[in-house]
Amino acid sequence: MRKLLILSFIIVLVGIDCKKESQTTGPAPLLKTKWVLTQIQATGKGAISYFPTDAPAKISIVFTDSENALTFKGICNIGGGTYSYSSDSGDIKINGIVTTKIACLYVEWESITIQNLDNAYGYAINGDNLTIYSASTYNLSFTRE
């Protein structure tokens, strides 16, 4: 009888844990999510510039969970760096982004993105949207893809 009681207890706990996971909804996770740049917002004046719809490619970043590596895919360049963050405080630090150096149409969007990622100090996730706050010229807005 005791074994049956213990077995029933384990089954109930597993069932509760599975139910919690299936009911969990909320913001997209920062890690292992492809984030696509949608706009930049001037940190001083708040002016917004939207990513050009006629660009030949999108700019995206992925925060991997192995070795805190950040991957970057630009319009015509690729690269990466490292990061550290705190999901509790919303602090983020991105270091040493290195990319290829191929020139193309709208390459200035890559430069803006990299410069402001290098100066990032905070982030916020709201649903499928990620904002990276920068101590430089622009805050960066991304959408989960």
Specify if 112 maps to a domain: yes
pLDDT tens digits for range 50-79: 999 999 999 999 999 888 999 999 999 999
- Could you give the number of structural domains in the chain? 1
Specify if 17 maps to a domain: no
pLDDT tens digits for range 98-137: 999 999 999 999 999 999 999 999 999 999 999 999 999 9
Could you tell me the residue range of the domain that residue 43 belongs to?
Answer: 28-144
Specify if 7 maps to a domain: no
Specify if 3 maps to a domain: no
Specify if 116 maps to a domain: yes
Specify if 74 maps to a domain: yes
SS3 30: coil
26: left (phi over 0), alpha (psi -120 to 50) or beta: left
Q: What is the CATH number of the domain that holds 60?
A: 2.40.128.270
* Rounded Cα distance, 55 and 36, in Å: 13
Specify if 55 maps to a domain: yes
